[in-house]
Amino acid sequence: MSYEEIFGYGWSLNFLMFILNVYIGIKSMNTKTKEQLLYENKILSRLKNEFDKYYPYRKYETIISYLIPFTAFFRVSFRLFEMTMFFNKNRSAKLFDYMIFKYQSDIKLAKNRIK
């Protein structure tokens, strides 16, 4: 197998994970009303602003991970596994609950590192 093939497979898997992310997001949005989406957006925006204070370059890190072969694939696969474990433990949870949990745990982790 040549390096070009390996890179091609890696980028293909990254693209697959990007499409999977978009699909999960759209599927979760389609089940909610406009008012619910606005309420959730308000809460998540507040958490994201606080998150961005501790991780200001996270957006660039995510973009770069999609450009490096296999990186986004492994990163998103780990997130999907983490989401599955969260949903198994919290049966009535939704994607919104997981996002709040993840933002809060990452913010808490950053605050503990600073101390």
The domain spans of the chain are: 3-114
**In the predicted model, what is the mean pLDDT of residues 67-83?**
92
Q: Is the pLDDT of residue 115 over 80?
A: no
Q: Quick one: pLDDT at residue 67?
A: 87
Single out the residue of 63, 57, 28 nearest to residue 44, CA to CA: 28
Residue 2's pLDDT band (cuts 50, 70, 90) = confident
Burial pattern 61-100, b for ≥16 Cβ within 10 A else e, equals eeeebbeebbbbbebbeeeeeebeeeeeeeeeeebbebbb
Reported pTM: 0.84
Q: Quick one: pLDDT at residue 19?
A: 95
